Amino acid sequence: MPDSVALDPVDLHILRLLQNDARTTYRELAAEVGVAPSTCLDRVARLRRSGVILGHRLRLDPARIGRGLEALLLVQVRPHRRELIGPFVERIRALPESRAFFHLTGPDDYLVHVAVAGPADLQRLVLDEFTSRREVARVETRLIFQQWECGPLLPPSEGARAPESQPGSPAP
Partner DNA sequence: GATGAAAGCAGGGCGCT
Partner DNA sequence: AGCGCCCTGCTTTCATC
Residues binding DNA (CB under 7 A): 10, 25-27, 35-39, 41-43
- Which of 79, 134, 153, 158 lies at the binding interface for its own copies (CB under 8 A)? 153
CA atoms of 110 and 77, how far apart (whole Å): 8
- Regarding 158 and contact with its own copies (CB under 8 A), the answer is no
- Regarding 100 and contact with its own copies (CB under 8 A), the answer is yes
Question: Cβ closer to its own copies: 53 or 84?
Answer: 53
Q: Apex CA 147: angle with CA 145 and CA 150, to 5°?
A: 160
Q: How far is the CB of 39 from DNA (least distance, A)?
A: 3
Which residues, other chains included, contact 93 with Cβ-Cβ below 8 Å and sequence gap of 6+?
Answer: 101
Q: Which does 21 bind (CB under 5 to 8 A by kind): DNA, its own copies, none?
A: its own copies
Residue 64 has φ and ψ, to the nearest 5°, of: -80, -10
CA atoms of 151 and 166, how far apart (whole Å): 27
Q: How far is the CB of 35 from DNA (least distance, A)?
A: 3
CA atoms of 70 and 23, how far apart (whole Å): 28
Q: Which does 131 bind (CB under 5 to 8 A by kind): its own copies, DNA, none?
A: none
Q: How far is the CB of 158 from DNA (least distance, A)?
A: 17
- Is 95 within 8 Å of 88 (Cβ atoms)? no
Q: What residues between 109 and 148 interact with its own copies by CB under 8 A?
A: 111, 115-121, 140, 142-148
